[in-house]
Structure 1
Amino acid sequence: MPKITFFNLPETKRKMIIEAAKEEFSRVLFEEASIANIIKKAEIPRGSFYQYFEDKKDLFVYLIGEMGKQMFTCFIGYLEDTQGDLFMAAEYFFKYLLELGNHPENRRFIRNIWLSMNEKLKDEVAPHSHKHRFYHYYEAMQQRVDYSSFHLQDKEKVFLFKLLKHTIFHNATPYLNGLATKEQCMETFCFQIRIIKRGLKNNG
């Protein structure tokens, strides 16, 4: 998490730093990203960087978190729009994710995040722990889902969310890597969602 000195900066300065970081993490994977490039683009001294962030990982996780907030909020909105239909909300969200990928910088940034994820980073950004700072988003999603047709236990609900997350991002990856069209990814995604939905109803 950034230090208070970062949040005390003028908004324009914070945006410069964030844009510089996003550009660098879009250019290369996390391990290859250079603090020197970020501070040069943001026009700040190296010493100032460490007044704002603990290290490169601190900044990277913050960027992932900000993107995660946007995505959680979006998914919650889709759940509200569909009266808690988890699978319809997932389909809307998948379309939204593909639309994000229409912009080259977004596409590179999202792709590099996924490719950079090791187990330690996954633990820091996964909201399935009560101790996680984004857990309230996860709870908000759970509260808006209509489970009446599925009769799931709590641990099964957690697994279902993990399965849907994997299905969404796994099927978006070929498009973000330029290996498939949006239409092809959408067709595969919808096919897999139908299988998951059918399995849940058969076990209901």
Structure 2
Amino acid sequence: MPKQTFFNLPEEKRERLLKAAYQEFSRVSLDEASINVIIHESDISRGSFYQYFEDKEDLYFYCAHLLKKDEKEQVDNCFREANGNLIEGLKRTFDYLYDTYMSGPNKDFYHHFFVNMTYRRSRNIYEEENHKKQHAHKHVYTDLIAILDLTKLNFASNQELQEFLQYTFQMIHWTIARVFLKNLSKEEARRDVNQRLSWLENGIIIK
């Protein structure tokens, strides 16, 4: 998470630094990314950089967090378009995330993320609010749950539903990671997601 000195900067200077960061993290992986390139492109000193961020990982997580914040409203819209149907909303979410990650304006950033991220780093990004050292999954999906048609869901508690959503979103991201790593087509990836959602929706035990 940025230090307060970053937020105290004029908006133009913040945007210039973030633009340089996105360019560098889209060009190469996090491990290969150069702070020198970022500070050169954003026209700040190395000392100033460390007044704003702990290190390049701190900056990277913040960039990823901003992208994830931008995704949230669109994901909620997927469930609105599905009239609150949980499974249909998840299917629409896959289509939206696939298109965003594979052909959106930040596709190169996502490519390096999915191809080069370690498990530890991916948890830092995809466990909501982790950058604030909070246990995020307890209240991440409040807005989304408000959209769902709960009358057709068999969860004993709100916490169970939270955990189910966390699991299914992780499954969707894991499937998209396989798209990057194994060069799956959208149809192949969608088939995998739909199959797993069918297992969850219909069960696997014949009664």
Provide TM-score, normalisation by structure 1: 0.81
Q: Residues 82 and 88 of structure 1 are in contact (CA less than 8 Å); yes or no, is this contact kept in structure 2?
A: yes
How many correspondences in the alignment?
202
Distance 1:63 1:135 in 2: 23
Written as runs of structure 1 = structure 2, the 5 A alignment for 1:69-108 is 69-103=69-103, 106-108=106-108
Alignment match, 2:199: 195
Alignment match, 1:66: 66
Q: Residues 101 and 176 of structure 1 are in contact (CA less than 8 Å); yes or no, is this contact kept in structure 2?
A: no
Q: CA deviation at 1:81?
A: 2.9
Written as runs of structure 1 = structure 2, the 5 A alignment for 1:1-204 is 1-103=1-103, 106-114=106-114, 115-119=116-120, 122-123=123-124, 125-127=126-128, 131-132=134-135, 137-154=140-157, 155-177=159-181, 179-199=183-203
Q: CA deviation at 1:41?
A: 2.0
Provide TM-score, normalisation by structure 2: 0.80
Note the residue ranges of structure 2 that are not aligned, 5 or more in a row.
none
Note the residue ranges of structure 1 that are not aligned, 5 or more in a row.
none
Q: 1:133 to 1:180 in 2, by over 3 A?
A: closer
Q: Residues 85 and 145 of structure 1 are in contact (CA less than 8 Å); yes or no, is this contact kept in structure 2?
A: yes
Distance 1:134 1:153 in 2: 17
Q: CA deviation at 1:178?
A: 6.6
Q: 1:71 to 1:181 in 2, by over 3 A?
A: same
Amino acid at match of 2:9: L
Range moving further from structure 2, 141-150 or 31-40: 141-150
Q: CA deviation at 1:10?
A: 3.1
Query: Could you list the per-position Cα deviations for residues 170-203 of structure 1 after superposition, in whole angstroms to 9, with x for gaps in the alignment?
Result: 2222333471222222222222222221129x99
Query: Could you list the per-position Cα deviations for residues 122-173 of structure 1 after superposition, in whole angstroms to 9, with x for gaps in the alignment?
Result: 1565138893579654222233222322321234323311221122112222
Q: CA deviation at 1:29?
A: 2.8
Q: Residues 137 and 166 of structure 2 are in contact (CA less than 8 Å); yes or no, is this contact kept in structure 1?
A: no
Q: CA RMSD in A?
A: 3.0
Identity %: 28
Amino acid at match of 1:153: A
Q: 1:65 to 1:132 in 2, by over 3 A?
A: farther
Amino acid at match of 1:148: T
Q: CA deviation at 1:109?
A: 1.3
* SS of equivalent to 1:25: helix
